[in-house]
A = this chain, B = another copy of it.
């Protein structure tokens, strides 16, 4: 239990405040205060506020990508033709697992992803990206193989639907108390059911 170094405390505080107030709404002063660090710490450890944001996003997204990738590997090692349900679970599951650790940390990460999905040009358009895109492309191919009747465009639309549902899920967990009958495990199951049915829908055409 070594006391957390300033760098990680800055990342924690920034993750919290970026998710809660957005990039522009979270000031460096608020972040360093929450982290118990000096105002200049952000400049020293990350260079700038924008680079702090990309570091935060990277830390959130990376384990999700890794889990998604590993899940697909395991699936494809077993059979070349995974079921839609299995693909949905492997793709959407990590989004819930990684977001469900600490009850509040989960909502935080979710809100952050939500903001990323919604921010067109915000300060992060140049993203590290390679891993992210590779994983997405692999799932695109796997889904295309499992749903051969679907056009590429409609498939892409549906995959983004998965992201949307997963991201929006726990947004209001932390607004007021969580609704009584909800656990994160339940939300995960609901999402898998919901999304598997959605992905398996017959193609619309054009």
Q: Tell me the A residues contacting B by CB distance below 8 Å.
A: 20-25, 111, 114-115, 117-122, 151-154, 156-158, 160-161, 163-165, 167-169, 171-172, 174-175, 179-182, 186-187, 189-198, 200-206
27 contacts across the A-B interface (CB closer than 8 A): A20-B121, A21-B121, A22-B23, A22-B24, A22-B122, A24-B24, A111-B120, A115-B118, A117-B168, A117-B171, A120-B175, A151-B181, A153-B180, A153-B181, A157-B169, A158-B190, A160-B168, A161-B168, A161-B191, A163-B168, A164-B168, A186-B204, A192-B204, A194-B198, A194-B201, A195-B198, A197-B201
In whole Å, how far is A191's beta carbon from the nearest beta carbon of chain B? 8
Chain B residues with CB under 8 Å of A163's CB are 168
Instruction: Please measure, in the bound complex, the distance between the C-alpha atom of A201 and the C-alpha atom of B167, giving whole angstroms.
Output: 20
Pick from B117, B156, B189: contact of A179, CB below 8 A. Answer: B156
Q: Which of B25, B120, B169, B181 contacts A152 (CB 8 A)?
A: B181
Number of copies: 2
Give the nearest-CB partner of A25 in chain B: B24
Q: How far is the CB of A86 from chain B (nearest CB, A)?
A: 16
Q: How far is the CA of A22 from the CA of B122 in the complex (A)?
A: 9
Q: A181-B152, A193-B202, A204-B189 are in contact. Are A21 and B20 (CB under 8 A)?
A: no
Q: Which of B25, B118, B206 contacts A122 (CB 8 A)?
A: B25
| Residues of the B chain whose Cβ atoms lie less than 8 Å from the Cβ of A120 | 20, 111, 171-172, 174-175
